C-alpha cells in the first residue's frame, strides 16, 4: 500500500512538472502587446538584445523552479510521513527528560536538518543561477553564512510556535485552532516589531543614510506627506547582489524606510526621491497594518481548515501516513504539508491585494514627487539590473508577482504623463 502511494504521488508530481515545463517554456511567452511596442514600457527600447535574451531565459528558469519547488516540498513532507521517518525522529528525540520543549527542540532540529539537506542542491542551483546571470555577487562563504543564520532563526521561532501549538492541541483537540489564532496576532506584531532591529542586522549592516544632502531632501518629502521620520537607513547589499531595492519594514517606533546601497549607487537623485515617495505611500495608506490584518484573517481560515482536515485525514489515511495521534509531534509534517498547500493556493489572492497596494503607492509617489520622467527611468533601471520579466504569463503573475509587472508600472506612469 505505502509503495503504491509513493509511486502514484511521484508520477503525479512528474506529470505536473512536465505540464509546467511546457507552459513556461513553450506556452504563453508574455510578449509585448502591439499597442505598447516601441513605447517607453517596451524593454526593447531600453535593454540591449543580449539583456533581453538573458532576461527571457532567466525568468523562465526561475519561474519553472518556483512552480516545481513548492510541490517538491509537499512531496518531501509526504515521504517523511509514509516512510515512518517522522515517527522515527520522534522516538530519537524522546529522551527520558521532564521538559517537553527540549524533546520538541530535538525533533525539530533533526527535521530541519533533513529539510536543509534535501533542499540544499536546489538552493545551491538557484544561487549559482543568479551568479551566472550576473544578479548575485555573493561569495559562497557569505551565502552559506546566510543559510546557517536562516536555519537558526527558523529553528528558534519554530520551536516556540510548535511547542505552544501542540500544547494547545493536547489541551483541546477540537478547538485548539481558536487560541492558536488569537496568539498569532500579538506574535505577528512582535516579530514585525523586532525584525528591523534584531533579525535583519544578522544578515546585513544597516546604518543611517550617509548622503546627508539626500537624506535632507527625503525627510523634507516625508514632512510634505505628513510622515514622522528622523532617519532613512541604507544597507550594504552590493557585496551580495547587483539588483536594486528599497522597502518599508517594522511597526511602531521600529518602522523605517530602507534603501539598498546598490540603489543609491546606480539611480540618480530624482529617481531615488520617486522611490522614496513610493515607500511613503505605503506608510500613508497603512499598507503594513492592512497586511497584518490580512495575514491574521488568512491564519484564521487556515487554522480552521487544518483543524477540520487533520482528523479526517488521520482517520482515513493514518495507517499510510504512519500517524498514530494528532496530539503527537510526529504529525507535524502533515500540518506543514497542509499549511504549504493552503498558502500556495491562497497566494493569488494575497498577491492581487499586494499588487493593488503597490499600484496605489506608485500613484501616491507620482502625485507627491511630480516627476514621472524619473519614475520611468527608475523603473527601466530596476528592470535592467534585475533582468526582470516585464510581462509574465498569467499563472506566473498570479502566483509570483507581489508587484505589478514592469510593463504595467511604466505604462501607468506614461499614461499619467499624458493626462498631465
- Annotated binding residues, written as ranges, equal 278, 282, 358
Point out the annotated binding site for Zn(2+): 278, 282, 358
Active-site entry in 234, 362, 389, 408: 362
213 is catalytic: no
Active-site entry in 234, 271, 279, 408: 279
Cell of 400: 509570483
Which of 26, 19, 28, 18 has its CA nearest to residue 397? Answer: 28
362 is catalytic: yes
Cα of 243 vs its chain's centroid, Å: 16
Length of the chain: 420
Query: 3-state class of 338 per DSSP?
Result: helix
DSSP secondary structure string for all residues of 54-84: HHHHHHHHHHHHHHHHHHHHHHHHHHHHHTT
Beta strand pairing call for 206-208 and 233-235: antiparallel
> What residues contact 199, with CB distance under 8 A and at least 6 apart?
153, 191
Contact between 183 and 171 (Cβ < 8 Å): no
Cα of 25 vs its chain's centroid, Å: 23
Q: Which helix (H) or strand (E) holds 136?
A: none
Enzyme catalytic residues: 279, 362
Amino acid at each position: 500500500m505505502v509503495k503504491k502511494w509513493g509511486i502514484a504521488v511521484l508520477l503525479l508530481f512528474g506529470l505536473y512538472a512536465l505540464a509546467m515545463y511546457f507552459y513556461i517554456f513553450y506556452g504563453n511567452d508574455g510578449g509585448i502587446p502591439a499597442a505598447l511596442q516601441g513605447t517607453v514600457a517596451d524593454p526593447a527600447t531600453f535593454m540591449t538584445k543580449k539583456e533581453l535574451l538573458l532576461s527571457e531565459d532567466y525568468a523562465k528558469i526561475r519561474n519553472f523552479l518556483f512552480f516545481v519547488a513548492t510541490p517538491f516540498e509537499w512531496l518531501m513532507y509526504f515521504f517523511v510521513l509514509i516512510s515512518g521517518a517522522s515517527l522515527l525522529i520522534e522516538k530519537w528525540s524522546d529522551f527520558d527528560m521532564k521538559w517537553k520543549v527540549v524533546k520538541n527542540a530535538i525533533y525539530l532540529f533533526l527535521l530541519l536538518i533533513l529539510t536543509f539537506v534535501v533542499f540544499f542542491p536546489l538552493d545551491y542551483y538557484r544561487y549559482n543561477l543568479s551568479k551566472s546571470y550576473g544578479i548575485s555577487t555573493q561569495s559562497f562563504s557569505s551565502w552559506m553564512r546566510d543559510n546557517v543564520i536562516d536555519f537558526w532563526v527558523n529553528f528558534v521561532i519554530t520551536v516556540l510556535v510548535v511547542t505552544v501549538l501542540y500544547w494547545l492541541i493536547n489541551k483541546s483537540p477540537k478547538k485548539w485552532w481558536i487560541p492558536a489564532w488569537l496568539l498569532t496576532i500579538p506574535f505577528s506584531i512582535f516579530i514585525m516589531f523586532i525584525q528591523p532591529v534584531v533579525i535583519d542586522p544578522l544578515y546585513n549592516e544597516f546604518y543611517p543614510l550617509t548622503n546627508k544632502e539626500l537624506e535632507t531632501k527625503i525627510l523634507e518629502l516625508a514632512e510634505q506627506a505628513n510622515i514622522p521620520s528622523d532617519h532613512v537607513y541604507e544597507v550594504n547589499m552590493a557585496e551580495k547582489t547587483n539588483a536594486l531595492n528599497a522597502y518599508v519594514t517594522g511597526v511602531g517606533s521600529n518602522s523605517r524606510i530602507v534603501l539598498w546601497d546598490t540603489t543609491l549607487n546606480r539611480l540618480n537623485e530624482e529617481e531615488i526621491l520617486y522611490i522614496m515617495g513610493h515607500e511613503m505611500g505605503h506608510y500613508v495608506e497603512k499598507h503594513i497594518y492592512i497586511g497584518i490584518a490580512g495575514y491574521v484573517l488568512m491564519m484564521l481560515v487556515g487554522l480552521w481548515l487544518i483543524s477540520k482536515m487533520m482528523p479526517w485525514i488521520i482517520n482515513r489515511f493514518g495507517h499510510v501516513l504512519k500517524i498514530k495521534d494528532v496530539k503527537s509531534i510526529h504529525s507535524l509534517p502533515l500540518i506543514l504539508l497542509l499549511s504549504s498547500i493552503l498558502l500556495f493556493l491562497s497566494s493569488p489572492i494575497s498577491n492581487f491585494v499586494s499588487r493593488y497596494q503597490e499600484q496605489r503607492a506608485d500613484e501616491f509617489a507620482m502625485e507627491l514627487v511630480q516627476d514621472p520622467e524619473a519614475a520611468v527611468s527608475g523603473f527601466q533601471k530596476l528592470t535592467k539590473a534585475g533582468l526582470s520579466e516585464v510581462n509574465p504569463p498569467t499563472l506566473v503573475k498570479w502566483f509570483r508577482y507581489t508587484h505589478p509587472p514592469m510593463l504595467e508600472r511604466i505604462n501607468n506612469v506614461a499614461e499619467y504623463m499624458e493626462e498631465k
